[in-house]
Structures are given as C-alpha cells and as structure tokens.
Amino acid sequence: MFEALPDKGVPGDQILGELRELRRADLPTHGGRLFAYVYDPALDGLDDLARAAHAISAHVNGLDPTAFPSLLAMENALVGAAVKLLRGGPEAVGSVTSGGTESLILAVKAARDSRPGLTTPRLVIPSTGHAAFAKAAHYLRVALDVVPVGDDLRADPAAMAAAITPDTVLVAASAPSYAHGVVDPIPEIAAAAAARGVRFHVDACFGGWVLPYLSRLGADLPEFDLAVPGVTSISVDLHKYAYAPKGVSLLLHRDETLRLPQYFAYADWPGYTMINPVISSTRSGGPIAAAVATLRTIGDAGYLELAERTRRAVAVLAEAVAATDGVRLFAPPETTVVCLTADDGGVDGGVDLFVLADELAARGWHTQPQMAFGALPATVHLTVTAAVSATVHEFAADLAGAVAAARARGPVRLPEPLIEAAGALTPEMVTPDLVAGLAEGLGLGGGDFTRMAAVNSLLNVTPPALREALLTGFLSLLQRPATATE
C-alpha cells in the first residue's frame, strides 16, 4: 500500500494510477451486474458531467449560505424539484442531507424536539423499517417500538395504530422497504397517525425518485407522498434512483413549523453563531452540484424512460426466478427489488442461498444475501437499476447454472466445533482476539471476500446481538492504520 503522506510529494499521474489500481479490487459500479450499493442509469457522458459539476463546487462550504449563495440556490432548486415530484403543497420545505441515514436521523430529531417535555419519546416503525431508524433512536435516545409486518411483508396499519402511545413523537413506514421492495399502506398509517396528532414520516429514501415514474407507467402502487393527508415528512435519496453521485438525500416537511426543530443553533461561545439545518456543519458543495447536474441532464422525460427500463429488467429477472427450480420469489416484484428465497425455504436441503449467492458472483452477478429474520427465511436481494436492462437477458441461464452448481456443492456444513463455540458465545464475550481468530479460521484473513457462504451461514444462525458484536469486531479489525510496507 502507498503512503498517504510520503516524505516528498508524488506526481499526479502516478497518484491517479495508484487510485485506479486500488479500485480494481472493488465490485463493478457499472455494467448492470451489481445489485446493491450502487445505482447506475448507464447513460453515456453522465459520469463526466457529474464529475465536472462536482469539481466546480467541491470547495464551496455549505456552512454559511450568505457566503456561498450558489449552494443555497442549488439546494433550493433540488428541494423544489422534489416537492413537485412528491406533490408537496405550497407550504412544503426541505433540506439537503448527505444520505438516507442522515435524513432519517433528522426526521426523528425534528419530531423528538417538537415535544421537549417528554421523558421517553418514542418512535413506531414496522419491522421492515430501515436500520437507520434504529440508529436514529440510538443516537437520539428515543425508544423504538417495532411492529411486526403482516404475511404480505407490509406494515399492518391496525397494529401500527395500536402501538402509538401518548409518548410517540413519530410514526414511520417505507415506500418501499429496502429488504423486500414492497410499499407499506401509507394512506392508512397516515390516517391513524393524524387521528392521534402524531407526526408520520415516509421513508422513500430508496424508491422516492422512481415510484412516481413507475406509477405513471401504470404500476399499481399505493399513494405514498406529501399529497397523502397525514404525511408530515418524507425522505428521498438522490444518490439512489435519481442516479446522482453519492452524498445527497432530501428531507421534506409538509410545512416550515414541522421543520424548525430539525435545526441546531448555538451562539453561546466566542466564535461564529452556528446554525445548522443538518448534522454536518462544514459541507462540500460538490455532491450537491453533481446532483443538480444529474437531475437537469436526465430531466423528467429521462427519468420516465429509466423507470421503464428498470421495470422491464425487474420483470425479466422475476420471470427467471419464477422459472428456475429450487428458488422462488419471496416478495412481489412491484417496485425495483427482486427478492428471492430457496424453494424449500431454508438452507437445510436443496439450494443453499448463501452458496447460490457465491455461485452467482462467480458468474459475475453480485447480489446481496439477507439473513433469516424472525419467521422469515434467508433471502437474496437484488436492487435493480436501469443499467440492468442491458444485461438482464443473460441472467436466467446464469441463475440456472448457479442453482445447479449450488446443488452440486451442497449446503455449507460448518465444522461442529465452530457451531458449538458460536452457540456458547454471548456478545459480551466477543473480543478483538476472538474475532481475529474466527476471521482467520473462516478464511477472511487475507482480505479475499469472494466466497462468503461459510461466513454468511455462520452469521445466519447467530442471534442479531451476537452478529452485531462479531461484525463490529470484524470491521474494527479491518480499520487499522496502514503503513508503507503493507
């Protein structure tokens, strides 16, 4: 590994070569074969444009809009576009954040701080709500009430309503959920929250920029946006289906009064008065300028066309899954997610989903395994973007091949002593040494993460709290200062 701070500066060409070399180890961000982490519209010239726009504003600081009105203008333009797309009224306002997690944390903060008298403010979410809500609750010391979803994987409005207490500051639901890609019944939950006078946030971080276009194309989806009475805020990530480079999400509120407690202000020190609408104080204008450029070059008609391509790709993928013995669709492919599971619903016979994910990866298709959760079996998640439409016709054959290979390899059989040792572990027993030994034993020591079935199988039978402790330990193991020799 190169030194980030060499004794003497290094020429630019060499540095760019080193960075490109490093990137070769990454999953392919383009090419329509990566079904998580990245969103690719496969539009010629878009990357170059976004990069150029990013460069123009990279050093602009969002800390003070009076010093850098260009950033304020761009943010207001992005919020305006989202208010229009998500049907906010004339009173709607919004903020630009760095990502979905920040938008959700701020939605929870605004709700919590609108009720300062409560000892234990509470947040109600369905069990399919994004993990970022748990993070928000944790950071903000808000109690989390998790309501089981129905058999259709959607939030149950009656159960959500029943979970609302006088201390509930916010109810939230997804449009759609990340894990399964299904839209919660937003109007019903909104009505229940409104009847109790409680704020209701729609997490449309994932799908907020594509659902309106899918609806326009004829998809039968429930209403989910600010036009629904009772929805008080909504989040949508531009770095997902708006196809902007990473680092931009929007949090919209029905009106300014609802947004006000989101702000943080502090004048009680000798320096400048700090007024922050979002979590970061100093913020780069780069991602915001890149997002503006992306929206303007694609345009409304362009997003409709990209949604159409995505919709066709989802249909082809879903057909391939339905036609392949050994796997089946786990959730209806009604938005942009294809979620599949093993026909027999588990890893104890037939197709081991974690082996299947490895086999798909060996064929160049990078999917995202999801662990069993409560009564739900393990699944494989595919986030589908417009780029997939170019490659999707090769999927069915590779899926069939991967299933056959997974059957031939058989399910992962973890060594008995390992299962026993894991069974006896509690989160408190997880130490850095233990994690290092486990990582070594599972073949992760060398940094090769291509065959993950054994690791995933172990994690799949590990209770969530232990899984959290093990993966925290593993990440901490990876995050070590590098020296020139490594």
CB of 91 to ligand PLP, least distance (A): 25
Take residue 175 and report the two structure tokens written for it.
């449009």
CB of 485 to ligand PLP, least distance (A): 34
Query: Contact between 160 and ligand PLP (CB under 6 A)?
Result: no
Take residue 266 and report the two structure tokens written for it.
């502090």
Compare residues 100 and 369 and give the one whose CB is closer to ligand PLP.
100
Take residue 187 and report the two structure tokens written for it.
């109007």
Query: Contact between 237 and ligand PLP (CB under 6 A)?
Result: yes
E strand or H helix at 249, and its extent? strand 249-253
CB of 125 to ligand PLP, least distance (A): 11
Query: Contact between 153 and ligand PLP (CB under 6 A)?
Result: no
CB of 460 to ligand PLP, least distance (A): 21
Query: Contact between 459 and ligand PLP (CB under 6 A)?
Result: no
Binding range to ligand PLP, per CB under 6 A, among 51-59, 98-106, 423-431, 457-465: 98-106
Binding range to ligand PLP, per CB under 6 A, among 6-14, 198-206, 442-450, 458-466: 198-206
Instruction: Identify any residues that bridge with 144 across adjacent strands, giving them in sequence order.
Output: 123
Report DSSP letters for 41-95, one per residue.
---TTHHHHHHHHHHHHTT-BTT-TTT-HHHHHHHHHHHHHHHHHTT--TT-EEE
Query: Contact between 96 and ligand PLP (CB under 6 A)?
Result: no
CB of 96 to ligand PLP, least distance (A): 13
Query: Contact between 130 and ligand PLP (CB under 6 A)?
Result: yes
Question: In the chain, what is the straight-line distance between the N-terminal and C-terminal CA atoms, in Å?
Answer: 5
Query: Contact between 457 and ligand PLP (CB under 6 A)?
Result: no
Query: Contact between 99 and ligand PLP (CB under 6 A)?
Result: yes
Query: Contact between 367 and ligand PLP (CB under 6 A)?
Result: no
CB of 129 to ligand PLP, least distance (A): 8
Strands, sheet with 93-97, edge to edge from the N-terminal-most edge strand: 93-97, 249-253, 233-237, 199-203, 168-174, 122-126, 143-147
Query: Contact between 295 and ligand PLP (CB under 6 A)?
Result: no
Take residue 434 and report the two structure tokens written for it.
């233990």
CB contact at 8 A, 364 and 33? yes
CB of 240 to ligand PLP, least distance (A): 7
CB contact at 8 A, 418 and 358? no
Of 254, 278, 274, the C-alpha closest to 265 is: 274
> Could you say which residues in the range 311-350 bind ligand PLP, by CB under 6 A?
none
Q: Tell me the C-alpha to C-alpha distance, in Å, between residue 284 and each of 132, 172, 240, 248.
A: 23, 29, 19, 11
Q: Tell me the C-alpha distance between 428 and 65, whole Å.
A: 47
Q: Which residues contact 327 (CB under 8 A, 6 or more apart)?
A: 321, 340, 341, 342, 343, 351, 353, 356, 399, 403
Take residue 307 and report the two structure tokens written for it.
């949604």
> Is the bond leading into 176 cis (omega within 30 degrees of zero)?
yes
Binding range to ligand PLP, per CB under 6 A, among 13-21, 88-96, 100-108, 150-158: 100-108
Selected from 62, 100, 286, 411, the binder of ligand PLP by CB under 6 A is 100
Binding mask 49-88 for ligand PLP (x = CB under 6 A): ----------------------------------------
Query: Contact between 132 and ligand PLP (CB under 6 A)?
Result: yes
Q: Tell me the C-alpha distance between 152 and 101, whole Å.
A: 26
Compare residues 178 and 303 and give the one whose CB is closer to ligand PLP.
178
Selected from 39, 68, 200, 206, the binder of ligand PLP by CB under 6 A is 206
Query: Contact between 178 and ligand PLP (CB under 6 A)?
Result: yes
Query: Contact between 101 and ligand PLP (CB under 6 A)?
Result: yes
Binding range to ligand PLP, per CB under 6 A, among 139-147, 189-197, 202-210, 397-405: 202-210
Q: Tell me the C-alpha distance between 91 and 328, whole Å.
A: 45
Compare residues 68 and 133 and give the one whose CB is closer to ligand PLP.
133
> Coil, strand, or helix at residue 371?
coil
CB of 132 to ligand PLP, least distance (A): 5
* Closest residue by beta carbon to ligand PLP: 100
Selected from 205, 234, 347, 403, the binder of ligand PLP by CB under 6 A is 205
CB of 272 to ligand PLP, least distance (A): 29
Compare residues 68 and 178 and give the one whose CB is closer to ligand PLP.
178
CB of 199 to ligand PLP, least distance (A): 17
Q: Please classify residue 332 by burial: count the beta carbons closer than 10 Å to its beta carbon, then call 0-12 exposed, 13-18 middle and 19+ buried.
A: middle
Q: Tell me the C-alpha distance between 174 and 205, whole Å.
A: 8
Judged by the rule CB under 6 A, the positions of this chain that interact with ligand PLP are 99-101, 104, 130, 132, 174, 178, 203, 205-206, 237, 249
